[in-house]
Amino acid sequence: MTYEEELSILNAILEFKIPEIAEDTHFWMIRTKRGYFYNEFIGKKFVALAWNNITEETDFSDESKEGLKDSIVLNYPEIKRPSTVINKCNSFINEVKENDILVIPSEKSKFITFAIAGEYFEDESKTVGVEKTVINRIDHKDVEINDVSCPYRKRRRIIPVRTVKSEEINYSLYRAISNYHGISNLDNYSRYILSMLYNVYSYQNNINIIFNVRKKGPIGPRLLSGVLYGATNYLCDIGINEAKISAQVNINSPGPIDFSIVDIYNWFSTNYLPILGLFVVAGGGSFLTFKLPGVPQIIKDILTVPNEIRKSKSEAEKLELEVMQKKLELVEKIKSAGINPADLSKSLNDIICNAAALDVQPIETVDINPNDVAEPSEEDEQEDE
């Protein structure tokens, strides 16, 4: 590793910030008509909802509900519960807000794309007639999955963030995604969703740190307990009450190990961000969004840096001196928090060794070839539009 790379890592630790998720963020699933519109949604960066007779001009007041129900049944005689349709459309138009987080499944939920919700808009060329014609062809399997465009009027721009295979997500989230509603609120699954998007984040004054495990196949209990034990010891060593710490482990591998520290962000943000940054880097260098092979040795060196640094003159020596000064600065921050750096050595070493064995990697966007998305199957026939 070069001194430039080492310096970038040390600066990242010293300047470590935790992404804050707004407390009013909501989480939604938007389906894709059995996968028919998945590629279009992701490629053209929008999502859409059915029932084109309902628009942003629709009156959703209680006084208008009965007339609206009649309109739905008249245009879509197959609908048995028009009230449900009204609620879904109201959610899509009025309740989904910009910067909410969307979960978008492909056919059979083989792939899951996470996206940030953008502004609402409408395509006025998509009439009820256009919608019914296209959906009828899909329902009768008269069109291929990549040969039809979404006929829905109600749309919302999106920023795709990450696409994963379904086996990588938490089982409870997968079950929730498997329902057949065109739009569903997933606020109860916020932790599972955020653990797929961020290496570390703060939400509702809690801090979550994600170890993105990429090791394939079975994980032995000693290995799993080793990383849990090392992480817990480190957090306790820097003064966190163990009662505030919990961990969620995805039973699948690859998958996330999610450490949650409750009701702690305000305390951390004023005292210990670089110390937490040291912990996150030890667990795979994950908040850097890149991984360098020499990171573990840098972490070990920080805790053994000499108190005095010799003077250097050559350019190479000046860079080496700057690296040493950054290490010393970090050590001083640890000491100023009332922590002996030597006390962190064993727990950090445990984290480093076990994270390496688990192949913990930074979370990053996974590119999925749209041609990998298969055709709809009989199992998906009941999906709500």
How does DSSP assign 219-288, residue by residue?
A: --HHHHHHHHHHHHHHHHHTT--GGGEEEEE-SSSSEEEEEEETT-HHHHHHHTHHHHHHHHHHTTSGGG
User: Within this chain, do residues 150 and 207 fall inside the same structural domain, yes or no?
Assistant: no
pLDDT mean values, one per 10 residues, the chain (385 residues)? 79 85 96 94 97 97 94 94 96 97 94 96 97 94 88 97 90 87 94 92 91 88 91 90 90 84 78 78 59 60 61 63 85 87 88 89 58 42 47
User: Within this chain, do residues 46 and 126 fall inside the same structural domain, yes or no?
Assistant: yes
- Supply the pLDDT for residue 315: 55
Q: How many residues does the chain have?
A: 385
User: Within this chain, do residues 245 and 178 fall inside the same structural domain, yes or no?
Assistant: no
User: Within this chain, do residues 40 and 189 fall inside the same structural domain, yes or no?
Assistant: yes
User: Within this chain, do residues 257 and 151 fall inside the same structural domain, yes or no?
Assistant: no
- Supply the pLDDT for residue 367: 42
Question: What whole-number distance in Å separates Cα of residue 160 and Cα of residue 155?
Answer: 15
- Supply the pLDDT for residue 376: 42
Strands 20-21 and 200-203: parallel
Q: Which amino acid makes up residue 299?
A: I
CB 141 within 8 A of CB 36: no
User: Within this chain, do residues 353 and 257 fall inside the same structural domain, yes or no?
Assistant: yes
User: Within this chain, do residues 166 and 281 fall inside the same structural domain, yes or no?
Assistant: no
Report the 10 Å Cβ neighbour count for 343.
14
At 121 the three-state DSSP class reads: strand
Question: What whole-number distance in Å separates Cα of residue 146 and Cα of residue 132?
Answer: 18
User: Within this chain, do residues 104 and 11 fall inside the same structural domain, yes or no?
Assistant: no
Q: Is the dihedral of CA 52, 53, 56, 60 positive or negative?
A: negative
- Domain span including residue 276: 3-19+198-357
User: Within this chain, do residues 9 and 51 fall inside the same structural domain, yes or no?
Assistant: no
- Supply the pLDDT for residue 284: 66
Question: What whole-number distance in Å separates Cα of residue 300 and Cα of residue 9?
Answer: 13
Of 196, 211, 237, at which residue does a domain stop?
196
Q: Which amino acid makes up residue 362?
A: P
Q: Which long-range contacts (CB under 8 A, 24 or more apart) does 239-245 make?
A: 239/272, 239/337, 239/338, 239/339, 240/264
User: Within this chain, do residues 104 and 246 fall inside the same structural domain, yes or no?
Assistant: no
User: Within this chain, do residues 301 and 209 fall inside the same structural domain, yes or no?
Assistant: yes
**Alpha-carbon Rg for the chain in angstroms:** 25
- Supply the pLDDT for residue 250: 78
